Structure 1
Amino acid sequence: MRYADVAKAERIRIYDVARVAGVSVATASKALNDTGRMTDATRQRVKQTAAALGFRPNAMARALTQQRSFTIGLLTNDTYGRFTLPVMAGINEALVDHGVSVFLCGIEDDAALAALHVDAMLDKQVDGIIATGKRIDRRLPVDLSGLQVPVVYAFTEGPDDAVTLVSDDEQGARQATEWLLGRGRRRLAHVTGPQSFASVTARARAFSAVAGADAAIVYGPWSEAWGHEAVAQFWSSDATRPDAIFCGNDQIARGVVDALRERGVAVPEDVSVVGFDNWEIVAAATRPPLTTVDMNLKELGREAGRLILELAEGKPVEPGVRKLPCKLVVRQSCGGDALAPRNKGEALQEV
């Protein structure tokens, strides 16, 4: 039977796929679900036939057969999406090839709303829940322990016996500081956010370990205005002015770069500046484009998706906190080696 003849049918069924591929319905089902024993050639032929016919499995029948809903709940209090969106992109990439969809619920910091959404997820019989947020040292306002479905925590605090994924803040800060020293800078300063954040203390600790105990660290809000204020403090002080400033996030770094330019201080010729986050909308728009630490949130999301699938399939996953490495994205604000040109004159290199 030709593809075109079958494709005219109102709905392509697995019986059609089996008939065109020349196999039994049972073999076609096993091939499409990557189960059973058969040759690679047979499995590939069935999949190619299904794709050519435009076959789409009946989600309800599939769920009943495998006793799974093929949906994962994603719960977040990061309603702005700064951290959740890249995490979700990674989760989707990990799940899409397995036919699993993501059910996203924003809860802000409302405990009642969070409980409502968790109930909705359970009513939809999700195969698991991924909890994510806007900082690694705060839990979402809902207790997810004791649920009948597995839970993975990504970029938010989880219980001690849970599977939790975070970016390695110390490794990222250490890499940025070592890079500045490698560019010949010797008078380093760190301008960062509030000390109440675990990520702030971790980055400051790594900075001091590399730059030395005498290197200046100043704490303030997560804002461009604080970057301006910190530069004003350094340049009005009798102390030696820094020749490199490592910032706790990209917003602070942009304020630092602007404040230096207003004082006639050239970046990176006179002072190198490095941020943290690799928030493209800020880093790429800074002039010069900002060298910054990428927290690899998309990769963190991929790993969360992979782990929730393993848990949903009943596979053992060791609990505990897993730290994923950051990477330094080198643009033009720190100087050093010449870099290959990119879009609109921007230079970029991943370290």
Structure 2
Amino acid sequence: MRDVARAAGVSIGTVSKALNNAGSLKQETRERVTEAARSLGFRPNDLAQALHRGQSFTVGLISNDSFGRFTMPILEGLESVLYEERIAVFMCNATDDPERERQHIEQLMGKRVDGLVFTARRADKRPNLGVDLAGLPTVFVFSQSDDPHSFCLLPDDEGGAYLGAAHLITNGRRRIAHVTGPERFEAVQLRRDGCRKALADAGVPIRSNWFLSGEWSESWGRQAVDILFDDPDDVPDGILAGNDQIARGILDALRDRGIDVPGAVGVVGFDNWGVMAEAARPTLTSIDMNLNALGQEAGRRILAMIGGKRFSGVERLPCTLVVRESCGAKSKTTA
């Protein structure tokens, strides 16, 4: 700063005001100081400034979603909100390694981040972090902690499945099956409940033997079709899949059997994963969990917490239905 002050012909105090956009200075003076700093390659010490002002204008994001399928849309939403407040996001990959995660937390706290956001590749509860966060604002998004005082933002899985099943019913389907992932996942249980509720509300018979659980894979979707269509005289005319991978397998198996989609059977997926849904034949109607919106809400909440507010518990944000060809309706998006 002394070098910058000398080059600009001003005091060190004036340099501080100019570079921090503070105080009352002539525009000409600010520009002279800024140009002197640029020509000398001066960079303010962010850590020293953080200690001085009590805020680093950084937030840490820790995820175990190595593939990025769920984390990247959340990160984009988070950054879109924090960017407006000049807050940067440091992203770390924990890879399901508790020790690595603890190290990331310690390092981020050592850098005086203003808050932490935790996300994952699935929204089930996870063990307590085992690290004293010392009151640091913390949000779990598409992830949950077993700490009752934590704050978690999740998609409304039950409501999303209700949308999907109700859409099939609206399009004339009355024999509806649900093919989903492993029962141990909370999302599987909630989506099953949402499907059952939609059928019950519409007075559509619930066939328990048509509610099938397996793996999150296309191969399971194909196997499920073999089970559901074993008796040609008793088959579904609508299928709600637990995710888009399963739905793709279902579409492939139906096509192999010569069964018309959506003519004979309507299919709805879950996740609205573009590379799956848009490349499917026919294109796949799917439930969108609105991960970008979850990230934006996480950004708003972490800002509020940095400002002194506190939140706890679980809040679920609504999903939307993205209509394509596989259900026999015109393309649109509905809440």
**TM-score, normalised relative to structure 2:** 0.83
Matched, 1:191 2:184: no
Q: Is the 8 A contact 2:221 2:249 kept in 1?
A: yes
Hey, what does 1:299 align to over in structure 2?
293
Kindly indicate whether residue 284 of structure 2 is the aligned counterpart of residue 290 of structure 1: yes
Q: Which residue, out of 34, 47, 66, partners 1:79?
A: 66
Please list every run of 5 or more consecutive structure 2 residues that lacks an aligned counterpart in the other structure: 1-7, 9-14
What residue is the counterpart of 1:38 in the other structure?
Answer: none
Give secondary structure in 2 for the equivalent of 1:26.
coil
Alignment of structure 1 residues 231-310 onto 2, 5 Å: 231-237=225-231, 240-310=234-304
Q: In the alignment, residue 328 of structure 2 is paired with which amino acid?
A: G
**CA distance change for structure 1 residues 64 and 226 in 2, over 3 Å: closer, same or farther?**
same
Report the Cα distance in structure 2 between the residues aligned to 1:27 and 1:284, rounded to whole angstroms.
Answer: 56
8 A contact 1:73–1:130 mirrored in 2: yes
Q: Give, as a single letter, the amino acid of the residue that structure 2 aligns with 1:193.
A: G
2:23 — aligned with what? 26
Residues in 1 aligned to 2:206 and 2:306: alpha-carbon distance in whole angstroms: 50
**After alignment, is 230-239 or 273-282 more displaced?**
230-239
Give the aligned residue type for 1:99: R
- Matched residue SS, 2:253: helix
State the Cα distance separating 1:25 from its structure 2 match: 4.8
Residue in structure 2 matched with residue 139 of structure 1 by the alignment: 126
Q: 1:97 aligns to what? A: 84
How far did residue 318 of structure 1 move? 2.9
Partner of 2:11: none
Matched position secondary structure for 1:97: helix
Other structure's SS at 2:177 match: strand
CA distance in 2, matches of 1:101, 1:25: 21
Query: Which residue matches 1:108?
Result: 95
Alpha-carbon distance between aligned partners in 2 of 1:271 and 1:297, rounded to the nearest angstrom: 29
Pick closer, same or farther for the CA change 1:165–1:197 going to 2, 3 Å: same
Task: Report matched runs for 1:28-67 at 5 Å.
Answer: 58=44, 60=46, 63-67=50-54
Contact 2:282 2:325 (8 Å CA) reproduced: yes
What letter corresponds to residue 278 of structure 2 in structure 1?
A
Q: Which moved more, 1:320-329 or 1:140-149?
A: 140-149
Structure 1: state its 5+ residue gaps: 1-8, 19-23, 29-45, 340-347
* Structure 1, 205-214 or 284-293: larger mean CA deviation: 205-214
Q: Who is 1:210 aligned against?
A: 198
How has the CA–CA distance of structure 1 residues 299 and 122 changed in structure 2, closer, same or farther, with 3 Å as cutoff? same
Q: CA deviation at 1:15?
A: 6.2
Determine the structure 2 residue equivalent to 1:153: 140
Could you say which residue in structure 2 is the equivalent of 1:331? 324
Q: Name the CA shift for 1:100/1:261 in 2 (closer, same or farther; >3 Å).
A: same
Determine the structure 1 residue equivalent to 2:333: 349
- How many Å separate the matches in 1 of 2:235 and 2:121? 33
Hey, what's the Cα distance between the residues in 2 that align with 1:170 and 1:285?
A: 26
Q: Percent identity?
A: 40
Q: Is 1:130 equivalent to 2:117 in the alignment?
A: yes
How many aligned residue pairs are there?
Answer: 305
Show the counterpart of 1:322: 315
What's the TM-score, normalizing by structure 1? 0.80
The aligned amino acid for 1:320 is G
Structure 1 CA distance, aligned partners of 2:90 and 2:197?
Answer: 42
Which secondary structure state, in structure 2, belongs to the residue aligned with residue 333 of structure 1? helix
Deviation at 1:110, TM superposition (A): 0.9
Task: Find 2:164's aligned residue among 161, 170, 176.
Answer: 176
Which letter maps to 1:81? G
* Partner Cα distance (1:119, 1:252) in 2: 39
Task: Tell me the distance in 2 between the aligned counterparts of 1:161 and 1:141.
Answer: 11
Contact 2:116/2:139 (8 A) holds in 1: yes
Q: Is the 8 A contact 1:114 1:141 kept in 2?
A: no
CA–CA distance in structure 1, aligned partners of residues 106 and 18 of structure 2: 39
CA 1:95 to 1:59, structure 2 compared with 1: closer, same or farther past 3 Å? farther
Which deviates the most, 249-258 or 110-119?
A: 110-119
Distance 1:290 1:67 in 2: 49
Is 2:262–2:328's contact at 8 Å kept on the other side of the alignment?
Answer: yes
Change in 2 beyond 3 A, CA 1:292/1:319: same
1:15/1:146 CA distance change after superposition, 3 Å? closer
